[in-house]
Amino acid sequence: DTGVSQDPRHKITKRGQNVTFRCDPISEHNRLYWYRQTLGQGPEFLTYFQNEAQLEKSRLLSDRFSAERPKGSFSTLEIQRTEQGDSAMYLCASSPDFASTEAFFGQGTRLTVV
Amino acid sequence: AQSVTQLDSHVSVSEGTPVLLRCNYSSSYSPSLFWYVQHPNKGLQLLLKYTSAATLVKGINGFEAEFKKSETSFHLTKPSAHMSDAAEYFCVVRFYGGSQGNLIFGKGTKLSVKP
């Protein structure tokens, strides 16, 4: 198992464009999380899935953001009509559904909106 | 409500001196507790975890943490800092049920190590 994989690692886009990020969790991990992290801050929770069901969304997740996990495996996070304030590191994590088990993080996708 | 407080946003130590990064939690339940480290422009790496076994937990790179239920604390320590320890450290608590998919992050402590 190669761990949690995120693609792309870096993305530069013009304001107003749409972007999509992908996360491949560790196989058989049924929980998948998305976080956003800006410079000098801790990760901010965006949303999480249990299998294919999106169980919780943060108020940070505006209508321009959408996340999917269609078959309970990989997940995508789409941002429509990007704004400069969307510039951040987007982190994905996965875990088994046990409270005692840690979450495993990917390397993140660095988004820069110009 | 469950919460995690990292008491220091920035800690600076000299190489070879001890490190103490403080974390307190608030919970009605027995939580699982984790410390993660993040180097610049990298993802989060697990340092150590407490899951209701031994209260003194040893992790990677010489770090350890002690779970103190009476003080609701899980402070991270290392006897002797190394330059490579300079990074951001996050205390994370996991509960059964709760919000945010039951993972709660502290705001982080930036550790600087002076030569």
Residue corresponding to tokens 């604390």: B73
Residue pair A23/A4 in contact by the 8 Å Cβ criterion: yes
Residue B102 in this model has a pLDDT that exceeds 80: no
Give contacts of B105 with chain A, Cβ < 8 Å. Answer: 42-43, 45
Most confident listed range (A3-17, A33-47, B15-29, B38-52): A3-17
Q: What is the pLDDT of residue B49?
A: 93
| CA distances in angstroms from B2 to A89, B17, B72, B114, listed in the order given | 25, 33, 12, 35
Q: How confident is the model at residue A101 (pLDDT cuts 50, 70, 90)?
A: confident
Res B99: pLDDT: 66
Residue B61 contacts residue B39 (beta carbons within 8 Å): no
Residue B100 banded pLDDT, cuts 50, 70, 90: low
Q: Identify the band that residue A42 occupies on the pLDDT scale cut at 50, 70 and 90.
A: confident
* Rounded Cα gap, residues B87 and A107, in angstroms: 15
> Which residue, among B9, B29, B32, B44, would best test binding to A if mutated, counting the most A CBs under 10 Å from its CB?
B44
Written as one letter, the residue type at B111 is: L
Q: A68 vs chain B: nearest CA distance in angstroms? A: 16
Write out chain A residues lying below 8 Å of B44, CB-based: 43, 91, 93, 105
Spell out which residues of chain B touch residue A104, defining contact as CB-CB under 8 Å.
46
For residue A13, the cross-strand partners are A113
b/e per residue, A61-72, with b = 16+ CB within 10 A?
A: beeebbbebeee
Per-residue pLDDT of B41-96, as tens digits, reads 788 999 999 987 788 999 999 999 999 989 999 999 999 999 999 999 999 988 76
Q: Which residues neighbour B97 within 8 Å (Cβ) at sequence distance 6 or greater?
A: none
In this predicted structure, the answer to whether residue B97 has a pLDDT above a threshold of 70 is no
The larger pLDDT score, comparing residue B31 to residue A12, is at A12
